[in-house]
Chain A
């Protein structure tokens, strides 16, 4: 299958390793990955912070880049949630009927990375090897908006060498929340404190998720506290193979 990758603005800039891993996994499975170069951002930060006028043109931009794609894969559950929950309404707001029709036709072809593997391709074993103790953080958008359910965990369970440990309070928000993390830094920190404690209780070496935004926030505290626990996007765990065992 020809897969069009929407990497998202922050993965592009801050987490290129996640993108490389997505390409690695999809190519290993025999698919072709293309990267429409005009892509930038889905508009989530602007929309969720109240800057709606600024977010609207980004819908048309995304559509223009991806409307002919066979499948769009996005390694970020919150960006996919943004599209599924708001793009139709946003297209209506622009008054552009063609855009609305394009959005409605494109959305069913948009997949979060793990759900593309489990739901579109019907896979739970992608031939990965990752000999580490890992815990999985279900981000709120993955859990509630995309209803990923057991999908990501089923992929992890089939990774060879992995020791998967369940995170207590899986349904509880880590406290990132986009601009919430800086606008309400104190409350965000308090929420993060509970999440970090739960992660430490698992004694995992690594916390993984389908959202680098949560992970950046969690990583920030894990590093500040010198815990030695790392964070890693699910794609990077699934990209692991015998050859690169360290």
Chain B
């Protein structure tokens, strides 16, 4: 178990976490391998779609429209779900959502639940809350089972155990399932999980799930998954409790057509999901007899109020931005200190936590734009990152914060850029100031303070004796200074 935590009160900055994780060569190899495999599969099934860009645009528009009328569609969903026999609960924040679910499990008379992989339940640390109330949660998704048994944390929103390889998984299963002779082939591991879980599916009377889509016009709920464990959890228990962020609603059943194409191709490189479950309320002859759904805000309406960053809520949790991100591919997901890692985590986490922790996350990106390019609903992640960086600077430069070295340097440079004569003077000063740092061959190999990060692994050539503008003027062709300041 690493030092990594998702507790906002104790989570280290991205820089600190990344520095330590970069030393984990096995993890880095596992992440690189897994993201390469998924990326390549995705590229094939995306490139074969002639209308991929139109699909992305449709996805974006459906989400934007829904978010603009979120109040209307949520109420419509509540009405239709209630009419179909579902019970709708509203939760303001994580704590309230946890309490509601715990109470519902208690009412169901069960002291254990089976769970489908749900990042929303991870977001609110539901398992811990259940455990504290004497309720044991069994994760039934293979990756989540690995995480749970390994006392680990998810590092990817679609493939939570992507940072582990087969040999490491075998060790966890051998120990936790008491299987000393377990092999490390995918079939061996899947069989072990299947044997372990089958009995839980048949015995446990209460299921807990997240949701991929809530359909307003029917009151239906949609969950997509690959292993069939979800279908078991959705159909076998007597009581089903679903928890979903309010942004998961879409207007019409027909809109699923767009997302059912975008999501699997982006997430796992599959043309369709192996299992797509859609249910509406309860049915007397089939499935759970009681169905509860908890609609959770947990900062979503605050994000919605921010015009610049509300596009964050359009996310359909495909993880394509994580697989492509050159930063995530180096550090893995745990560096982001949140269940939401990678580019989407870098914009979502600081907003969910109102920037208190996670302030370092908007800077955990080189702004290369690969995430925006692959996003199936066209979230302009670099744009939101820059917006959040501005918010961080606003917070950090309040009061005495205005005197922090970075802010002072930035203000000084801005002053220089506002005047040609000051800029020229700074160029001359720079040449003088760097002189003690330049070696005989004309290179700087050590820099002080904030710039020291540069020379950790890079040299810097010395400043040329003449700037471009000095050279150009020598040719006698400059238009002359327009700057009288």
A residues near B (Cβ < 8 Å) are 7, 9, 11-20, 23, 33-41, 43, 45-52, 54-55, 57-58, 61, 64-65, 85, 140-141, 144-145, 171-173, 175-192, 216-217, 219-221, 223-224
The answer to whether A221 and B370 touch across the interface, beta carbons within 8 angstroms, is: no
Alpha-carbon separation in the docked complex, A61 to B482 (Å): 11
Contacts of A172 in B (CB 8 A): 326, 370
The answer to whether A223 and B22 touch across the interface, beta carbons within 8 angstroms, is: no
Contacts of A192 in B (CB 8 A): 457-458
Identify the stretch in B62-70, B238-246, B266-274, B358-366 within 8 Å (CB) of chain A at 4 or more residues.
B358-366
Identify the stretch in B225-233, B291-299, B414-422 within 8 Å (CB) of chain A at 4 or more residues.
B414-422
Alpha-carbon separation in the docked complex, A39 to B424 (Å): 11
Contacts of B416 in A (CB 8 A): 40
Q: Are A46 and B363 also in contact (CB < 8 A) when A13-B427, A19-B471, A34-B479 are?
A: no
Chain B residues 218 to 273 lying within 8 A of chain A, measured CB to CB, are: none
Q: Are A37 and B480 also in contact (CB < 8 A) when A49-B410, A50-B390 are?
A: yes
The answer to whether A180 and B326 touch across the interface, beta carbons within 8 angstroms, is: no
Chain B residues 402 to 418 lying within 8 A of chain A, measured CB to CB, are: 407, 410-411, 413-414, 416-418
The answer to whether A51 and B327 touch across the interface, beta carbons within 8 angstroms, is: no
B398 interface residue, CB < 8 Å from A?
no
Q: Are A54 and B410 also in contact (CB < 8 A) when A180-B365, A184-B15, A186-B18 are?
A: yes
B456 interface residue, CB < 8 Å from A?
yes
9 A–B contacts from the bound complex (CB under 8 Å): A13-B467, A35-B477, A35-B478, A37-B478, A58-B417, A172-B370, A182-B453, A182-B454, A187-B18
Contacts of A35 in B (CB 8 A): 469, 472, 477-479
| Distance from B362 Cβ to chain A, minimum over Cβ atoms (Å) | 8
- Looking across the interface, which residue of chain B has its beta carbon closest to that of A11? B468
The answer to whether A187 and B331 touch across the interface, beta carbons within 8 angstroms, is: yes
B129 interface residue, CB < 8 Å from A?
no
The answer to whether B389 and A12 touch across the interface, beta carbons within 8 angstroms, is: no
- Looking across the interface, which residue of chain B has its beta carbon closest to that of A56? B414
| Distance from A14 Cβ to chain B, minimum over Cβ atoms (Å) | 6
Q: Are A186 and B420 also in contact (CB < 8 A) when A38-B483, A50-B386 are?
A: no
* Contact bitstring B310-344, A, C-beta under 8 A = 1, else 0: 00000000000000001100110000000000000
The answer to whether A177 and B456 touch across the interface, beta carbons within 8 angstroms, is: no
Residue from A52, A145, A184 having most chain B Cβ neighbours under 10 A: A184
Q: Closest 5 interchain pairs by CB?
A: A220-B458, A177-B366, A185-B453, A50-B389, A173-B368
The answer to whether B326 and A14 touch across the interface, beta carbons within 8 angstroms, is: no
Alpha-carbon separation in the docked complex, A173 to B382 (Å): 14
Q: Are A40 and B417 also in contact (CB < 8 A) when A13-B467, A182-B450, A186-B22 are?
A: yes
Alpha-carbon separation in the docked complex, A85 to B458 (Å): 30
The answer to whether B453 and A140 touch across the interface, beta carbons within 8 angstroms, is: no
B104 interface residue, CB < 8 Å from A?
no
The answer to whether A16 and B464 touch across the interface, beta carbons within 8 angstroms, is: yes
Alpha-carbon separation in the docked complex, A191 to B15 (Å): 14
Contacts of A41 in B (CB 8 A): 417
B438 interface residue, CB < 8 Å from A?
no
B459 interface residue, CB < 8 Å from A?
yes
Contacts of B392 in A (CB 8 A): 50
6 extra interface residue pairs, beta carbon distance < 8 Å, beyond A51-B407, A223-B458:
A140-B366, A173-B368, A177-B368, A178-B367, A180-B366, A219-B459
| Distance from A2 Cβ to chain B, minimum over Cβ atoms (Å) | 11
| Distance from A190 Cβ to chain B, minimum over Cβ atoms (Å) | 4
- Looking across the interface, which residue of chain B has its beta carbon closest to that of A4? B479
The answer to whether B477 and A173 touch across the interface, beta carbons within 8 angstroms, is: no
Q: Are A48 and B367 also in contact (CB < 8 A) when A37-B482, A172-B326, A192-B457 are?
A: yes
Q: Are A182 and B451 also in contact (CB < 8 A) when A12-B469, A145-B369 are?
A: yes
* Contact bitstring B441-480, A, C-beta under 8 A = 1, else 0: 0010100001111101111110110111111110001111
The answer to whether B386 and A183 touch across the interface, beta carbons within 8 angstroms, is: no
The answer to whether A61 and B418 touch across the interface, beta carbons within 8 angstroms, is: yes
Q: Are A144 and B458 also in contact (CB < 8 A) when A12-B427, A54-B411, A177-B365 are?
A: no
Contacts of B410 in A (CB 8 A): 46, 49, 51, 54
- Looking across the interface, which residue of chain B has its beta carbon closest to that of A18? B468
| Distance from B204 Cβ to chain A, minimum over Cβ atoms (Å) | 42
Alpha-carbon separation in the docked complex, A172 to B417 (Å): 31
The answer to whether B472 and A19 touch across the interface, beta carbons within 8 angstroms, is: yes
Alpha-carbon separation in the docked complex, A49 to B468 (Å): 26
Alpha-carbon separation in the docked complex, A220 to B447 (Å): 13
The answer to whether B373 and A144 touch across the interface, beta carbons within 8 angstroms, is: yes
Alpha-carbon separation in the docked complex, A49 to B460 (Å): 22
Alpha-carbon separation in the docked complex, A17 to B368 (Å): 26
The answer to whether A47 and B457 touch across the interface, beta carbons within 8 angstroms, is: no
B6 interface residue, CB < 8 Å from A?
no
Alpha-carbon separation in the docked complex, A17 to B467 (Å): 9
B285 interface residue, CB < 8 Å from A?
no
Q: Are A37 and B420 also in contact (CB < 8 A) when A46-B414, A187-B331 are?
A: yes
The answer to whether B471 and A20 touch across the interface, beta carbons within 8 angstroms, is: yes
| Distance from B476 Cβ to chain A, minimum over Cβ atoms (Å) | 12
The answer to whether A40 and B472 touch across the interface, beta carbons within 8 angstroms, is: no
